[in-house]
Amino acid sequence: MKKVPGPPSFDGLKRRIARHRAENPPSRKDHFVRETYCLGLMDARAKAREWFDEYPKAAYWTEVESWRQLDGDQIEFTMRRLPSAD
């Protein structure tokens, strides 16, 4: 009886992918300006409002990119905008 080969091993491919990722770390190529804050709830709202007032959403694509509530009513959030309105 003839032996049927099993599925191919992906070990070599996995090593090449790992090596490529180690040599070429991901970079942000989207050109957005980001800033992360950790503030109390009211201060966080005020800081986000500052960004929207200074960098209007329509021109700079300003947005709250991420946020999470921490212990003690602290909010950690990242604001994102384009570097210019051009």
Model-level pTM?
A: 0.65
Q: Considering only residues 54 and 13, tell me which one the structure prediction assigns the higher pLDDT.
A: 54
Mean pLDDT of 80-84: 93
67 in a domain, yes or no?
yes
> How many domains in the chain?
1
Q: What is the per-residue pLDDT across 25-76, written as a single tens digit (0 to 9) for each?
A: 766 677 899 999 999 999 999 999 999 999 999 999 999 999 999 998 999 9
17 in a domain, yes or no?
no
The tally of CA atoms less than 13 A away on the side-chain side of residue 40 is 3
Residue linked to tokens 């003690």: 72
Give me the DSSP letters along 19-56: HHHHHS-----S--EEEEEEEEHHHHHHHHHHHHHHS-
Structural domain containing residue 52: 32-86
What is the C-alpha separation between 85 and 26, in angstroms, rounded?
26
Q: What pLDDT is recorded for position 3?
A: 72
DSSP class of residue 83 equals: S
74 in a domain, yes or no?
yes
Q: What pLDDT is recorded for position 46?
A: 98
Q: Please say if the pLDDT value at position 81 is more than 90.
A: yes
What is the C-alpha separation between 25 and 16, in angstroms, rounded?
14
